[in-house]
Amino acid sequence: MNKIIILCAAVGFSCGQGWAQAPNAARQPPARATLQQCYRALSRDSVVFFYDAYYTLVPPGCAAIRRHARVDSAGAFHGVVQDYQLSNNVLLLSGAYRHGRKQGVFELFYSDGEPAARVRYHEGKPVGDWAYWYHSGQPRQVVRFEQPERPTLQRFWAVDGKPLVVNGTGQWQQDEAGTRQEGAIRNGVPDGQWTRRYIQGRQPYSVEYFDKGTFRKGTIFHEAEPGEYVLPLDAEQPPFMDAEDYDRAEALVLGALCPPVSPPVK
């Protein structure tokens, strides 16, 4: 069964069979939200979805993002979608789908509305040059997709505007969660040893080794506390690629119900 079938039925589409609940619902923990709790149908094909900050579907009461979208007769996104930050109504994303596949230009924005990235898709696959900006408005990097699965870094600038990667060659770096990751770019891909160190103290956090863009091995030296998120090694994608959390939106991943509100202390 497909979860989107529930959505079809809710907005009046003919979806074949009228499923009453999401697949494997009996195995879902009680605290998980249902699809019906995470969207509002505005018309026959116009829907608002509610997500947390990582594009997991949640009820409106604990959502961070709302997506205005249209869906086709199969329940897939079709046409323009726009994502807004609920706390201040700032536009975070604008793009379009063609029967469930991203198509054309997607524009991404920081939480205050400043431009963050401008990317392009064709039939759901990344294509062309993707441009990124720092929060200040300074250009950050340009990534090229000549092959969907093998992006290459063409240009990269430091925060102060100094060019560090030119024509696919140079040094890339990024500060994240009190650490700095850096390494060499050759022919547009990571090559050799890449390190992540604590900014304060310069102690090593992790080290990785790439061979002409292919991740070979790596080690994390950080000793995590229970429940702590550990910055991962970049075996899945090049380290210069940002995590595109908005990709999860079309997967309709269900999150938890909103936590109960404690009564005021008297």
Residues 204 and 251 in one domain: no
3-state secondary structure the chain: CCCHHHHHHHCCCCCCCCCCCCCCHHHCCCCECCHHHHEEECCCCEEEEEECCCCCECCHHHCCEEEEEEECCCCCECEEEEEEECCCCEEEEEEEEECCEECEEEEEECCCCCEEEEEEEECCEECEEEEEECCCCCEEEEEEECCCCCCEEEEEECCCCCEEEECCEEEEEEEECCEEEEEEEECCEEEEEEEEEECCCCCEEEEEEEECCEEEEEEECCCCCCCCCCCCCCCCCCCCCCCCHHHHHHHCCECECCCCCCCCCC
Residue 17 forms part of a structural domain: yes
Residues 100 and 191 in one domain: no
Residue 141 forms part of a structural domain: no
Residue 138 forms part of a structural domain: no
Residue 131 forms part of a structural domain: no
Whole-prediction pTM value? 0.84
Q: What is residue 224's predicted lDDT score, i.e. its pLDDT?
A: 86
Residues 178 and 83 in one domain: no
Residue 146 forms part of a structural domain: no
Q: What is residue 8's predicted lDDT score, i.e. its pLDDT?
A: 45
User: What are the per-10-residue average pLDDT scores of the chain (266 residues)?
Assistant: 44 36 47 93 92 97 97 93 97 97 98 97 97 97 93 97 98 95 97 96 94 95 88 86 92 92 64
Q: Which of 116, 122, 234 lies closest to 182, judged by CA?
A: 234
Residue 93 forms part of a structural domain: yes
Residues 99 and 174 in one domain: no
Q: What is residue 2's predicted lDDT score, i.e. its pLDDT?
A: 46
Residues 89 and 10 in one domain: yes
Q: What is residue 253's predicted lDDT score, i.e. its pLDDT?
A: 94
Residues 207 and 246 in one domain: no
Residue 123 forms part of a structural domain: no
Distance CA 156, CA 168 (A): 9
Domain residues for the domain of 197 are 162-240
Q: What is residue 29's predicted lDDT score, i.e. its pLDDT?
A: 53
Domain tally for the chain? 2
